[in-house]
Structure 1
Amino acid sequence: MSEDLAIPSLFNVKGKIVLVTGGGVGIGKMIATGFARNGATVYIAARKEPQLKEAVEDIKQVATGKIHYIVANVGSKAGCDALISDFKKREAKLHILVNNSGITWGGPYNDFPEEKGWDNVFNVNVKSIFYMTAGLSDYLIKDSTSTDPGRVINISSTASVIPHSEGELSADGNGTWSYQPSKAAVNHLTSQLAVKLAPSFVTVNAILPGVFPSKMSAFGLKTSGDKIVSRQPMGASALSFYLNATTDRKQGRVGGPGDMAGLALFLASPASAHITGQHIITDGGARLFSKL
């Protein structure tokens, strides 16, 4: 019998159990909403319980699956272990792990702080992905097959492939010196984990978002939103973009919930069961037109 290629079958996540770190706001909330809307049981985890409660109530408005929260801090191995332990008390299987928790720090080139600027950024952005994935591998591997594998989705950034650290997303005189290399590390760790877990029927892929509304982009969108949006190439021809033409040019846009949820749903559905170790950019083509 041939495979069912109907959309409801190819993109089905109903009944899957999902854990999204950093799921209370921004990109994490977009992804969690997409899964809950389509029948998955979703757990969101973050440090701030009020944000988690608010997110759960928002997501419930559209959910056809269940939505829960766990208060956790993945900034250390102990924090990751505590989240893993709490989750394992509630479920016997995990189908989809979304490692979304991330932070950034802006500071001057000649006085960039070590602990908050470097150590904490790498702890949350890189180490947490390793410890969360390693600690939940047994749950991801359980009952997984080549056609229905466990899934790990790591949220990286186009900052991992664009080396500019000073711009609209940080204050004048400051740069996000540790954020770019931390996200580059996420990409390579994604490849490492894909190699490790493929024999156990678990796929590991990374999403590299461009500018999306989130806590990290809030400063830039507030202070330079019009400028940032004007640089989004979707809606503009390449020639008009490079010539800074202002006529006959449709307005571009930053990323939205459908862009993020759609890609995450794809990477967790039967349609992507044969895809692993990939770093997928979703930025409307902005990095192709960067003139910085």
Structure 2
Amino acid sequence: MQNTPAPWYTRLMPWRLSSENDKIRQSREDVAGLEPAVVVTGGSRGIGLAMARRFLEAGRKTAIVARSAEGLEKAAADLKALTGFDVTTIVCDISERNALDVMTATLNRSGLYLDILVNNAGIGLAGPFESHAEEDLSRLISLNIESVTRLTRGALPPMLARRRGGILNVASLGAIVPGPNQAAYYASKAYVVSLTEAIASETSGQSVRVSALLPGPVNTSFHEDMGAETSLYRFILPSMSADRVAASAYRGFMFGNRVIVPGISNLFFYVALRFLPHALTVPMVYWLLRRPKT
């Protein structure tokens, strides 16, 4: 990523320019001798694994993060077989408050530093809101909201100081509308999109890409894991492969798009959901997300 001149106002305030130059110099000294890396949370399967593959194929040093050492080892072997490149593995629970420190330490030991962060890890919950256990809701909020916020906040300042890098937050097409029968999940992704777009506006022109990815249904185990495999949307709405989503996400991110919606049909749904009133869309989404009674 190319460096850009300092903002115009610093030329009117030399002391501000000097301070910013000191920050840039220090941030670059902090990673001297290290290579930039892409870090993908939830990178051992699904969209995360496909994103890691796409960055590896583009020649980027890449690290994948997950809680399971066994899952990471298998993912690393698969990526090596597919791309011919090694990937760094980081065993870490991103819901822990020291997750970024753990990730940074592992990267540094491998001669790397965090340059691009892909916040992909997350979980879903299907069914009526009142049916969910309190601990399950807390886990969803911790992973989908708190962890994304904490990792983004921790990773962003050094990127801005170095005037390079980026953050790609994986949300969902469901972020655009309330989701009866997946209420907490849809709400958590709405938060991610709102946060990402706001940060992208705040950091515009500072050579750091900040994007939100809004995929529709994807053919991974995610829907089954959350108990939504029998929901009507799985039979009605078109699904994409994780590889196609990753390819679209990579292109959009490199172009600097703030919001990335993979697939023509999903783009149509995105526009429709943005402009149609909730009085129409929420009942439709309720119907799509409901599960047949057993």
* Shift in CA distance, 267/158, structure 1 to aligned 2, threshold 3 Å: same
- The aligned residue for residue 149 of structure 2 is 130
Counterpart secondary structure, 1:178: helix
* Cα deviation, residue 85, structure 1: 3.5
Aligned match for 1:153, one of 146, 152, 168: 168
- The aligned residue for residue 164 of structure 1 is 179
1:77 maps onto 2:62 in alignment: no
- CA distance in structure 1 between the aligned counterparts of 2:110 and 2:81, rounded to whole angstroms: 23
Q: What number of residue pairs does the alignment pair up?
A: 238
1:265 maps onto 2:245 in alignment: no
- The aligned residue for residue 236 of structure 2 is 231
* Shift in CA distance, 222/207, structure 1 to aligned 2, threshold 3 Å: closer
Counterpart secondary structure, 2:260: strand
TM-score between both structures, scaled by the size of structure 2: 0.71
- CA distance in structure 1 between the aligned counterparts of 2:48 and 2:85, rounded to whole angstroms: 17
- The aligned residue for residue 23 of structure 1 is 43
TM-score between both structures, scaled by the size of structure 1: 0.71
* Shift in CA distance, 159/97, structure 1 to aligned 2, threshold 3 Å: same
Residue identity in the other structure for 2:213: I
Residue identity in the other structure for 1:160: A
Asked if the contact 2:124/2:226 (under 8 Å) is kept, the reply is no
- The aligned residue for residue 184 of structure 2 is 178
Residue identity in the other structure for 1:181: A
1:215 maps onto 2:235 in alignment: no
Q: Deviations over 1:128-161 (max 9, x none)?
A: 12221222235434543xxxx4111000001111
- The aligned residue for residue 8 of structure 2 is none
* Shift in CA distance, 111/64, structure 1 to aligned 2, threshold 3 Å: closer
- CA distance in structure 2 between the aligned counterparts of 1:231 and 1:34, rounded to whole angstroms: 29
Aligned match for 1:46, one of 37, 49, 66: 66
Q: Deviations over 1:64-97 (max 9, x none)?
A: 5431110011113233433334334434543321
* Cα deviation, residue 222, structure 1: 8.6
Asked if the contact 2:217/2:234 (under 8 Å) is kept, the reply is no
- CA distance in structure 2 between the aligned counterparts of 1:256 and 1:221, rounded to whole angstroms: 19
Unpaired runs of 5+ in structure 2? Answer: 1-34, 274-280, 288-294
In terms of fraction of residues, the more helix-rich structure is 2
- CA distance in structure 2 between the aligned counterparts of 1:98 and 1:223, rounded to whole angstroms: 26
* Cα deviation, residue 58, structure 1: 0.4
1:254 maps onto 2:277 in alignment: no
* Shift in CA distance, 222/121, structure 1 to aligned 2, threshold 3 Å: closer
Counterpart secondary structure, 2:218: coil
